[in-house]
A and B are shown apart, each in its own frame.
Chain A
Amino acid sequence: MLETRNLDKSFGAVHVTRDVSLKLERGERRVILGPNGAGKTTLFNQLVGELASDKGSVHLAGEDVTALAVAKRARRGLSRSYQKNTLFDGLTVEENLGLAASIHTGHATTLWSDSLAKPEVREIVQDVANQVNLMPFLHANVSEISYGVRRQLEVGVALATRPLVLLMDEPTSGVGPEMAKGFHDLLNNLPRDLTLLIIEHDMDLAFDVADTITVLNYGEVVFDGLPQEARGSSLLKEIYLGSWEDA
């Protein structure tokens, strides 16, 4: 469903992602682990096209999308959430979801009707609000909801374009352990045919949702396999727990 071949990116002399090749099957749920600065977010930026890669290619549903702009890749079914909330501040939760849904349904550029009032758009908004537990907050302004709820909305907005592949950059970053657990239940309840690529810091939580695990260290894929293999891997412990203790 989503494949990368030999992706590379440097910022000046800093080589941030090195020769990253990944392959996700339809419906696969893969978690990317890796210490701070490993290049995880950079890889996401390359996948969606917000950063141009120095080398390599990105394939979505069998098609080479490397040359496509961000918006075009998104319309082909690639959606992402951000590590740092990237919401429509000043608008309501409902409007946030509605803007995303109206792009997916093709009502975002019409002059002849209100996209947010369209039945298809409203239906997606309701569905997504249910999926990410936002029903009680639909009419609240983004500025009025708590940080944790905003994290849910961050994922909700990405979901409202009804993507084939959803990239989530540390959806639980900054939320308490209680809420993080809730988040993982929520992820487990997403439709099974949705392909998920999730950056996650907490290993236990990662193992909770992952079908497969990729570990990135200094921009390189150092592990690619099943969670149970990862659990036993001494390499992983070294990189991951090592940096954990440093932090």
Chain B
Amino acid sequence: MFRHTPLRYATLVLLASVALFRVFTAEYFGLEILTEIFILAVLVLALDMVAGFGGMVSLCHGALMGVGAYAYVMLSTIAGIAPPVAMAGAIAITGVAAWVIGAICARSHGIYFIMATLAFGQMAYSYVFEAPIFGGDDGLGGISRLDLSFVGIDLSDSRSFAFFCLAILAAVYGAAVLILRSGLGRSLSGVMHNEQRMRALGLTVWRVKADVFGLSGMIAGLAGVLAAQHIMYISPGLLSWTVSGEALVVVILGGVGTLIGPLVGAVAFVMLKHELSAVTTYWHLVVGCILIAVVMSRANGIFGWLEDRWGARIDRRAADATRNQKTEEVASDA
């Protein structure tokens, strides 16, 4: 069940401050990397919601992101719908698609669930790849970003767009927390801990799984819309299962079921990718080694390791601090 601890708050504040600082100070290339991090972070939040809090390890979140991106482009560029409406439409379409996938896969578990979601992802990939209307291998271009000029923001500027993505990431984080703390999110935790018992208590388990999968799909779709607007060009590669795999790597690297861990993972992953690929073309090997080290350490990713090491101590300090404050208040009252 999701909880904010002092360590989690502290990490959030730190991440947010650094992100804000970088958005205001970074140059063009830095802004591109920041935007990439923010969009990946939105995607891995969606994935952590289902994988970390519902035990639904999905290998179709990349494809869902792709569905969001393509739906946005089809609606805005091809159908000529205004970008904000197209954006909402794309999110809705991805949500419905994810809900259906969730409803169908809800009865399978573990490796079977992973394979079923992978199959759905591959179906979407090959359809987009083959269907001429989606531009096939060549992809689609000419994508417009949202027009926020009425509030004086020009999103064609990299800095503004990075800031826009950061704002959306913050909103998505808030939404994810609210979802996990809602009745639906609580029930999802119950299902992850003991599905049989939740059913015996009267819960329609598949509905809860499908609903959360649908919500998670909406967030993945939003990541897709952002990705399309960022690169202003999309290709079927966006739906490739390797994107889903990479998102899963980021979630595991950061810490499954912590929400904040995947944010840390997204930062680490994108930074590593750019730093290492500048030095060697074999950067995947290094990331692989790091992932193996993280998994072998038996900690729950980077953030899980931090929580094991520092969490208890920091939480105790915070508890002491509030207690001292209370005793002081009592003393001053007397």
Which residues from chain A sit less than 8 Å from chain B, CB to CB?
48, 50, 70-72, 74-75, 79-80, 86-91, 95, 98-100, 102-104, 107-116, 157-158, 161
Contacts and interface: CB of A to CB of B under 8 A. Distances in A.
12 contacts: A71-B203, A72-B202, A74-B202, A91-B193, A108-B203, A109-B208, A110-B182, A111-B179, A113-B182, A114-B181, A115-B183, A115-B186
A103 B194 CA distance: 14
A71 B202 contact: yes
Interface residues of B, number: 26
Contacts of A158: 201
Contacts of B186: 95, 98-99, 102, 108, 114-116
Interface of B: 1, 179, 181-184, 186-187, 189-190, 193-194, 196-205, 207-208, 211, 215
Contact of B189 (A91, A112, A113): A91
Q: Select the residue from B187, B194, B197, B200 with max chain A CB neighbours within 10 A.
A: B200
Contacts of B202: 71-72, 74-75, 103-104, 161
Given A88-B190, A110-B182, A114-B181, 10 more contacts: A71-B203, A87-B194, A95-B1, A98-B186, A108-B184, A112-B182, A114-B183, A115-B183, A115-B186, A158-B201
A199 to B, nearest CB: 16
B193 A109 contact: no
Of the listed residues B179, B197, B203, B207, the one surrounded by the most CB atoms of chain A closer than 10 A to its CB is: B197
B187 A99 contact: yes
Nearest to A161: B201
Contacts of A113: 182-183
B183 to A, nearest CB: 3
A71 B190 contact: no
A72 B199 CA distance: 9
A139 B181 CA distance: 18
B194 A110 contact: no
Contacts of A114: 181-183, 186
A79 to B, nearest CB: 7
Contact of A108 (B187, B193, B196, B197): B187
B113 to A, nearest CB: 20
A103 B193 contact: no
A189 B203 CA distance: 28
Contacts of B183: 102, 107-111, 113-115
Given A88-B194, A110-B184, A115-B187, A99 B179 contact: no
A17 to B, nearest CB: 19
A236 B109 CA distance: 45
A113 B1 CA distance: 15
B210 to A, nearest CB: 11
Contacts of A102: 183, 186-187
- Residue among B184, B201, B208, B215 having the largest count of chain A Cβ atoms under 10 Å: B201
A67 B204 CA distance: 16
Nearest 7 Cβ contacts at the A-B interface: A115-B183, A74-B202, A110-B183, A88-B193, A75-B202, A99-B190, A107-B183
> Which one of A75, A108, A114, A157 has the greatest number of beta carbons of chain B within 10 Å?
A108
A80 B200 contact: yes
A90 B183 CA distance: 18
Nearest to B178: A111
Contacts of B207: 109
Contact of A71 (B193, B204, B215): B204
B218 to A, nearest CB: 12
B201 A74 contact: yes
